């Protein structure tokens, strides 16, 4: 009898050992008991009842991605183009992922296809080519909301390539070439305009400087002439004062009269009668002149 108990104990121990499970990191085990959902095992050590509990699904919690192959889509202005994308997602609820939908990965792929066509169908060609961020955000929001019932969290959606038809590419290339030529012509015209403005400003500045130089020259010449006239007048006044000091006031008056007679004659008269008083004064002035010069 003891052997029977030992055998039973060994069998029971083996059953217990076979029911011991360790859930690794980044995984979750969905457990069913008698065919119905029982619990979800997280990372760590767990024991299941033999023949009663079973592992329905081992779910990876790592972020995964689905690479969407190129698909033909039609824009709002009826242009057919090829678009491919990548969807990044991870399991947020292992229970819903297990029981929510058959083949969740395939469901994500089909949902991405229809959503991509709907989003791009609301945009025109030009908007589609320049609105990748808008398309990505719309796709992520719609896919994330629709996949909540499947226990899936869509983390990111990226549109990889947008490939329009060759005729559209040729038209776009011609348009870009025309735009580049237009910008080149505008830049050349702006350069010529700036050059003309700078030349005009330079000529204007040169004329201003030339006029200022001429004005300064004229002012300096006038000042020089004025100084010369003042010097002559001062010398004349000084001479008169000396003559006045020597011959007196009346003599100076007579000398002035002598000068007046010279101007009257102006070299044209052949004969000029000079009063005797003026002759004496003239002699005296000549003598003074000799003394001053010596």
Is residue 15 in some structural domain? yes
pLDDT surpasses 50 at 137: yes
Domain membership flag for residue 179: no
Residue span of the structural domain in which 42 resides: 2-59
pLDDT of residue 125: 82
Name every residue whose Cβ is closer than 8 Å to that of residue 267 and which is 6 or more positions away in sequence. Answer: none
Q: How far apart are CA 278 and CA 284, in angstroms?
A: 10
Is residue 8 classed exposed, middle or buried when 0-12, 13-18 and 19+ CB atoms within 10 A define those classes? exposed
Rounded to whole angstroms, the Cα distance separating 173 from 167 reads 10
Lowest mean pLDDT among 13-22, 111-120, 175-184: 13-22
What the block records as the tokens of 216 is 């300064």
7: in domain: yes
Distance of CA 241 to the CA centre of its chain: 84
* 130 vs 241, residue with greater confidence: 130
Given 59, 80, 103, which residue is the final one in a domain? 59
Residue 17 and residue 89 share a domain: no
pLDDT of residue 101: 86
69 shares a domain with 129: yes
User: What pLDDT, in 10s, does the model give residues 57-92?
Assistant: 899 999 988 888 888 888 888 888 888 889 999 999
* β-pair type (20-23, 44-47): antiparallel
Q: Are 48 and 19 in contact (CB under 8 A)?
A: yes
| Cβ neighbours, 10 Å, residue 21 | 15
69 and 141 part of one domain? yes
Distance CA 29, CA 262 (A): 142
Region 191-214 average pLDDT: 85
The pLDDT score that the predictor gives to residue 94 is: 92
User: Domain check: are 81 and 136 in the same one?
Assistant: yes
Domain stops at, among 20, 39, 59 = 59
Q: How confident is the model at residue 95 (pLDDT cuts 50, 70, 90)?
A: very high
> Which of the four pLDDT bands, split at 50, 70 and 90, describes residue 276?
low
Tell which wins on pLDDT, 52 or 280.
52
For residues 52 and 78, state if they share a domain: no
On the question of pLDDT at 28 being above 90, the answer is: yes
Q: What is the mean pLDDT of residues 169-190?
A: 78
For residues 232 and 274, the model is more confident at 232
Same structural domain for residues 33 and 75?
no
According to the 3-state scheme, what is the secondary structure of the chain?
CHHHHHHHHHHHHHHHHHCEEEECCCEEEEEEECCEEEEEECCEEEECCCCCEEEEEEEECCCEEEEEEEEEEECCCCCEEEEEEEEEEEECCHHHHHHCCCCHHHHHHHHHHHHHHHHHHCCCHHHHHHCHHHHHHHHHHHHHHHHHHHCEEEEEEEEEEEECCHHHHHHHHHHHHHHHHHHHHHHHHHHHHHHHHHHHHHHHHHHHHHHHHHHHHHHHHHHHHHHHHHHHHHHHHHHHHHHHHHHHHHHHHHHHHHHHHHHHHCCCCCCCCCCHHHHHHHHHHHHHHHHHHC
pLDDT over 60 (residue 4): yes
Residue 292 has pLDDT above 50, yes or no: no
Give per-residue pLDDT as tens, 220-240.
Answer: 888 888 787 877 777 766 666
Same domain for 47 and 73? no
Q: Domain check: are 154 and 108 in the same one? A: yes
The tally of domains found in the chain comes to 3
Residue 139 is assigned to a structural domain of this protein: yes
One domain, residues 101 and 83: yes
Helices 104-121 and 132-146 meet at what angle, rounded to 10?
140
Among 164, 196, 211, the domain boundary falls at: 164
Residue 223 placed within a domain: no
What is the Rg, in whole angstroms, of the alpha carbon atoms belonging to the chain? Answer: 59
């Amino acid at each position: 009898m003891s052997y029977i108990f030992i055998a039973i104990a060994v069998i029971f121990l083996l059953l217990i050992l076979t029911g011991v499970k360790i859930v690794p990191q980044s995984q979750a085990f969905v457990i069913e008991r008698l065919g119905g959902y029982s619990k979800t095992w997280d990372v760590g050590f767990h024991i299941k009842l033999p023949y009663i509990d079973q592992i329905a699904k081992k779910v990876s919690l790592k972020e995964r991605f689905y690479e969407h192959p190129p698909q033909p889509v039609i824009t709002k202005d009826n242009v057919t183009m090829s678009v491919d994308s990548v969807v990044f997602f991870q399991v947020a609820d292992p229970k819903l992922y297990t029981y929510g939908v058959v083949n969740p990965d395939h469901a994500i792929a089909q949902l991405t296809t229809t959503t991509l066509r709907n989003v791009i169908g609301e945009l025109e060609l030009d908007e589609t080519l320049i609105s990748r961020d808008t398309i990505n955000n719309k796709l992520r929001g719609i896919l994330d909301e629709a996949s909540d019932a499947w226990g899936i969290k869509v983390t990111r959606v990226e549109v990889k390539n947008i490939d329009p038809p060759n005729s559209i590419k040729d038209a776009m290339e011609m348009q870009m070439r025309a735009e580049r030529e237009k910008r080149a012509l505008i830049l050349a015209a702006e350069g010529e305009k700036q050059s003309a403005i700078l030349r005009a400003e330079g000529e204007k500045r040169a004329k201003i400087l030339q006029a200022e130089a001429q004005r300064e020259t004229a002012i300096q010449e006038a000042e020089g002439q004025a100084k010369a006239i003042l010097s002559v007048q001062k010398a004349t006044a000084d001479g008169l004062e000396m003559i006045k000091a020597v011959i007196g006031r009346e003599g100076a008056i007579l000398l002035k009269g002598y000068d007046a007679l010279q101007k009257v004659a102006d070299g044209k008269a052949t004969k000029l009668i000079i009063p005797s008083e003026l002759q004496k004064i003239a002699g005296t002035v000549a003598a003074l002149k000799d003394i001053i010069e010596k």
